[in-house]
Structure 1
């Protein structure tokens, strides 16, 4: 599945490539290199200027051996790939001679680098680095190569960066806010509130891991237990268990947030190591976090529930507050402002001093859910409409208290609230 939008990082890398900067893009283990390559190609092709961009599928190269021998030559492979005729008398096949004799594409996206064996990857990386150095010596801007590699690849050790060869980390691609908005356009639901619920919870739990979007989209509308099971299954499918994860050092970053960028950390830093292994995600909202599927495999249910809870707050609390205001308007319309204020004050006199310390009652709209519940319980026997409001308000009051005490609610409770307020004409 292709990415729905090009990350901002891809545009930044595309700009550098078009300025002649060869870029090695590092991604975590188990990532999809083709997805990264596709996003980068798309970004380069959609820039404002025309550019000659070629996709080159790397190979160990049959027929690309030096002088017809058995030793593979990446440079000879480039000759064949770009249909360059190497004439007698041109001199030995070196980068300097190649750049002098042939016009190569401006940008070469070197595809399938991760699919080669270690020695092949080492040869290609050395060739690309030498090409970058030759272009700098000749003061030529192109070609610029783009290579996507796994951050933990041993062939990267010793790679030296320069003014025209950079390393970029494929992380911090989207804000969670942007991902949630994207999911709202793709999810289906019986009502808008269901779509918002699914988008918010899936974003909080999956982050930018698109492989989890579909299974989580089904789980988040069933139950919290279904979410945990879904994520545990994802860990199993990726070949990880509690035992295999315990030795990875994930526990170092289970709690607490860090916003340190990878390019400011040394190679041996735990954040760099865990990200390269695929055990850390980054978002602008929360910084570095252990992926939800890792938490599920480790049995960290409380941390998982916290991620469910934080996603529920901006979805549920506005509905509860709008319902609170609706009840206040109803009581003001039928009983008047003075009556409502007096009834709410009466309730507060019954509450022990210091209990929760509610907001001062300066106007009717300061009435809390507990005030309204007290009033409606007194009016329910005399008004059918009051009894209708009361049944929904009791649920709203309960859910608000759950969320206020950092406890995630169940999907069924949210949908019951939606049905209740919809029946009273408030929600979609």
Structure 2
């Protein structure tokens, strides 16, 4: 991901809140474990957290576990690395380490995920034990140092670490939201030097498709024109880069997650459910407040779930097109009402269905696309208005497609907008003095 999009991601409210929550726990003398999926760069995330810790004036020291001479007895090894003066040769444990003078406020354990399995587990146990021993030192006069570990646990799932009184486990889960990715697209469009014309289209389409994978969003955004075939090509390349295959995804539990039919329930859990954690760790599952838990679109493509992939595109289009098309319909109906009076929908012909007839008798603005198009085409008294059929007919088709869960091409949408601008310029109602 480019520095530009990483900077935009760092500005999103949920990311900033995530950082604040972590530093808040550190301020409350809780050790923290931050769990990231493979789609989030750990070094980038640490730069954000480090900046906030510096702003809050914490004394921080990083310990690179990959370059330690010895991994035996993690507490003793950590003490030697921090140049601790042990009270006695026999007392080289966590309690003695916590009681030592001159320790930083925050000790960052860097590189845990790169260690061999047994060594990694020993250091993770140290974090848990450190928090437990810290609980016994609540009454001490000086602040208790805390540990901080940032993990991308693709090979650690299922994670069994849980938050406790002196330990806070933070999962990168449930953010950014779809709304925030729309904001990111808006910011990218405003600051773009290319002045692309499809910003509104993309800021609805891409967030609905990518979940919260900003890496994929940036790739699609960088395309000169985002068409369905280009989206598939991009997704196919991403699957190859990440090594996702049908077999691997099923081993990680993709089939079970799809059959669970998990949808939004109005709230987000703080961590992925157990059956989704391996998929989450690989970046193949995510959740948003808008759509709930879902598979990554690349996973859908690899699994041959084209219908679900099309639905992602449709839902983004529906959010943009349905209000826009209805606003256009209302403007056309208002124009016809000014020109022909309030009874124009039933003055010469009537809708086929009685409920639709009742609706347009009550208000001419209730005339829907199907009857509106038919009336303009067939009513001799409205023959002058057939000049607007290049707007009405494609708008009606687009509305019908979206209503039946079919996608609309960007070219068709832009044609409707161009025709509407022509209509609006020529039929604008005179301003009242």
Pairing 1:113-262 to 2, within 5 Å after superposition: 113-139=112-138, 140=140, 141-151=143-153, 153-154=155-156, 162-187=164-189, 188=192, 194-218=198-222, 221-254=225-258, 256-259=261-264
CA–CA separation in structure 2 for the residues paired with 1:264 and 1:72: 30
Pairing 1:270-281 to 2, within 5 Å after superposition: 270-281=275-286
The aligned counterpart of 2:346 is: 342
User: Closer, same or farther in 2 for the Cα pair 1:242/1:73, shift >3 Å?
Assistant: closer
**Structure 1 residue 106: Cα displacement:** 2.2
CA–CA separation in structure 1 for the residues paired with 2:223 and 2:172: 28
Show structure 2 runs of 5+ residues with no match: 426-433
Question: Which stretch of structure 1 is more off in the superposition, 191-200 or 365-374?
Answer: 191-200
User: Closer, same or farther in 2 for the Cα pair 1:329/1:103, shift >3 Å?
Assistant: same
CA–CA separation in structure 2 for the residues paired with 1:26 and 1:80: 25
CA–CA separation in structure 2 for the residues paired with 1:291 and 1:155: 18
User: Closer, same or farther in 2 for the Cα pair 1:373/1:180, shift >3 Å?
Assistant: same
The aligned counterpart of 2:62 is: 56
> 2:28 matched to 1:19?
yes
Pairing 1:308-347 to 2, within 5 Å after superposition: 308-338=313-343, 340-343=344-347, 346-347=349-350
Question: Which stretch of structure 1 is more off in the superposition, 196-205 or 274-283?
Answer: 274-283
The aligned counterpart of 2:363 is: 363
User: Closer, same or farther in 2 for the Cα pair 1:190/1:55, shift >3 Å?
Assistant: same
TM-score by length of 2: 0.81
Pairing 1:63-82 to 2, within 5 Å after superposition: 65=70, 75-77=76-78, 80-81=81-82
> RMSD across aligned C-alpha pairs, in angstroms?
3.4
CA–CA separation in structure 2 for the residues paired with 1:7 and 1:312: 29
C-alpha distance after superposition, 1:321-354 (max 9, x if no partner): 121122122222322223x2434x7140xx3668
CA–CA separation in structure 2 for the residues paired with 1:20 and 1:357: 69
User: Closer, same or farther in 2 for the Cα pair 1:157/1:230, shift >3 Å?
Assistant: closer
**Structure 1 residue 379: Cα displacement:** 6.1
Aligned residues: 407
**Structure 1 residue 258: Cα displacement:** 3.8
TM-score by length of 1: 0.82
CA contact (8 A) 1:15 1:44 kept: no
**Structure 1 residue 317: Cα displacement:** 1.6
Pairing 1:410-425 to 2, within 5 Å after superposition: 410-425=409-424
User: Closer, same or farther in 2 for the Cα pair 1:380/1:55, shift >3 Å?
Assistant: farther
User: Closer, same or farther in 2 for the Cα pair 1:146/1:219, shift >3 Å?
Assistant: same
User: Closer, same or farther in 2 for the Cα pair 1:126/1:58, shift >3 Å?
Assistant: farther
Secondary structure of the residue that 2:240 maps to in structure 1?
A: helix
User: Closer, same or farther in 2 for the Cα pair 1:178/1:216, shift >3 Å?
Assistant: same
CA contact (8 A) 2:63 2:107 kept: no
User: Closer, same or farther in 2 for the Cα pair 1:55/1:314, shift >3 Å?
Assistant: farther
> 2:294 matched to 1:292?
no
Secondary structure of the residue that 1:4 maps to in structure 2?
A: helix
**Structure 1 residue 289: Cα displacement:** 0.3
The aligned counterpart of 1:282 is: 287
CA contact (8 A) 1:37 1:109 kept: no
CA–CA separation in structure 2 for the residues paired with 1:87 and 1:342: 94
C-alpha distance after superposition, 1:274-324 (max 9, x if no partner): 333433111111111011010011111110110101111121122211211
